[in-house]
Amino acid sequence: MPGWFIHLDVARDIATRIANTPNGLPGPTNSDLAAIIKRFPNYYALGAIGPDLFFFLPDFKGDLGNFIAKIAEFALDVWSKLDDNVIGPWERRWVRFQRIPTSW
């Protein structure tokens, strides 16, 4: 299976050529598709990688996947502690100011 770089490289090549190719199927024209690709490049890249995203999940990658899962778990733990000890207390203090009526 080709790597994600190949998928993105082919998608980039198609994106540069599609506006100059003749229309084929009914639906959006090739120039419409080129405009959509230009407007939403992140979604286009996500579609290019497509089902291979599941290949990046931890259960397929062995130790690398476990490493990714551990990073995500660490980030969630840090955020939870930060939220409980820093952000949460500040939110409780600022809630009083948020309840001030604005129709004075």
- 70, two tokens: 């551990």
Give the residue extent of every domain in the chain: 1-56, 58-104
Res 96 pLDDT > 70: no
Higher pLDDT, 1 or 69: 69
Distance between CA atoms of 87 and 80, rounded to whole angstroms?
A: 10
Tens digits of residue pLDDT in 3-31: 777 888 888 898 888 888 888 778 888 88
Tens digits of residue pLDDT in 50-85: 867 766 665 655 666 677 778 888 999 999 998 888
Distances in Å between the alpha carbon of 8 and those of 11, 17, 46? 5, 14, 9
Residue 52 pLDDT: 74
**Running DSSP on this structure, what letter comes out for residue 20?**
G
